[in-house]
Structure 1
Amino acid sequence: MRPPQPLCELTIKVPGPFEGVDDLGFSARYPAQGRFAPLRDVPLWIEGPAQPLRRLHNRLRLLHEAIDGPYAWTDPVQLADEVVIVAFHDRSLEPRAAEDFAQASLDFVLNLVRPVVFPFLSDCARVAHLRLADRIDMTVEAADWPVARFSMRVGQIVPENGFDLLGAA
């Protein structure tokens, strides 16, 4: 029997997910990893104009401080005026009480199969109160080849949209 093939590197690109700032977007870059290995951190590279990105950087700190559950967000790092990076960190396998094993297993599977763009956008609206665009486009790529393209209404991603515009002065 041959060993399982590793999961290949994947990128999910999301251009213009925030209302009023069409030229600010992000890419979630899943590193290659073993099929049954714990989920590695997934960095999100966020690029856009300096002013809205500076506001977003401050709001992303709220995600780092507020999220408590099966995943966490790293503290955002501003690499340049127009680039911020933050990462999704799976916490589902951290030690828990024995009675929480079933929930930990469910959390692990959910973190493994649900694209990180969904908790990121949801947390941006719910925790950071940022207003998402009415339609959000996504492209999934493997080895720089498009695998899928799709568009979703904001209501399919978050039950309630945020109210703060990144482009507001």
Structure 2
Amino acid sequence: MKESYITFFRRFWIALIVGFILYNIIFPETFSRESIVAKIQSYGNYGWVIFAICHLVRGFVMLPSTALIFAGVFLFPNDLFMVLVISVIGIVISSMIVYYFSDKLGFSKLFDKNTKASNLVKEKLSGKYGPLFIIFWAFFPFVPTDLICYTAGAMKINPIVFAVSIFIGELILCTVYIYGSSYFI
């Protein structure tokens, strides 16, 4: 009985991720900075709460945090430090949620196989420079951070090392995004 719930949950989550990715491809304007700003502004005084909640749940559906961060800069130009704090904390928490649930989705089975690719990933993440690899992955803006979260969770990388590495990488990236974009806004 318990196994059927897990299977249902796994299929539901995968369908949710695929659905949001397809929706984002078909209707990219929905998750644009302007659209996010308009939606958050519609909540008036609860804007900060909605902004934080958006950061927490975006990891479940693999939506990039970049548009949300830029929307925060536009919404709260006088509180950039708070935008940074909420963004980084939200990204780390959502990354840890993805990390912990990756095994429930069956991602660990991908690394049970002894293939060249899986061995290379295991070596990079578990090796001496594993934390640096995670930091650079989180910092590099052209790859989805959620992918490394699923991978690290499936491989059962030390959760503290993972969280600290994600924090450092995202702190650097978010700082550049927030204070760099505020210069232009």
The verdict on a shared fold, with TM-score over 0.5 as the criterion, is no
Quick check: which one's strand share is greater? 1
TM bucket by the smaller chain?
A: under 0.3
Indicate the structure (1 or 2) with the bigger Cα radius of gyration.
2
Quick check: which one's helix share is greater? 2
